[in-house]
Amino acid sequence: HDFEEDAVVQFAVKLNEAAGTFIYCENEKAVIDNMQFLVEQQKWTELFAIDETVLSLLRNGNFNLTSKQEKFNDLKVGITRCDYLIARFGSVMVSSALLSGRRMFVYPETHVVIAKASQVVSELKDALKGMKQKYAGKFPSQITVITGPSRTADIEKTLVMGAHGPKELYVFMIDDL
């Protein structure tokens, strides 16, 4: 058993525990197939992305894609990349350097992350160390660690999902190891 596989499995388990959904993809074609299935299942009418890497991947499928900023407030589904996936907590690390803008991780009802298995690290400190190397000299102005959908128990101690951000979090992981 190598470390990478163990870390990927741990990430998947922890993401599920945090009410996120893990979708393993053997390759980029599998991302398209799984996304098409999810779009039909969830009856999503439009996918929002501004990251060119995400857009060029999704253009291989038959999706209603938009990058129009004026659509932003009605956004149901936002798709981004991430910097790292943290196995210990099932968390997704994103930064302002990812060209999706800061609002992208907060506004959509559903946040879909397209990641690679090689982005999985064990601990938060490993992700931060990686960020220092990756963005040497031009560190992002914002780094956010997302663990599952937004939740709060502020109101009468009742757990409410999606109060301060996305109600759903999906992570599509491409096996590049």
For residue 100, what pLDDT is reported? 62
Query: pLDDT tens digits, the chain, 177 residues: what are they?
Result: 465 679 999 999 999 999 999 999 999 999 999 999 999 999 999 999 989 999 999 999 999 998 887 766 777 899 999 999 999 999 999 998 886 655 665 677 899 999 999 999 999 999 999 999 999 988 998 898 988 877 766 667 666 666 667 789 999 999 998
Q: Alpha-carbon distance 101 to 80, whole Å?
A: 10
For residue 89, what pLDDT is reported? 95
Evaluate if pTM is beyond 0.85.
Answer: yes
Q: Domain residues of the chain, as ranges?
A: 3-174
For residue 5, what pLDDT is reported? 77
Superfamily (CATH H level) for 3-174: NagB/RpiA/CoA transferase-like (3.40.50.10420)
Model confidence pLDDT, tens digit, residues 23-50: 999 999 999 999 999 999 999 999 999 8
Q: What are the φ and ψ backbone dihedral angles of 171, each rounded to 5 degrees? A: -120, 115
For residue 115, what pLDDT is reported? 98
Residues 6+ apart with CB under 8 A from 8: 87, 117, 120, 173, 177
For residue 155, what pLDDT is reported? 63
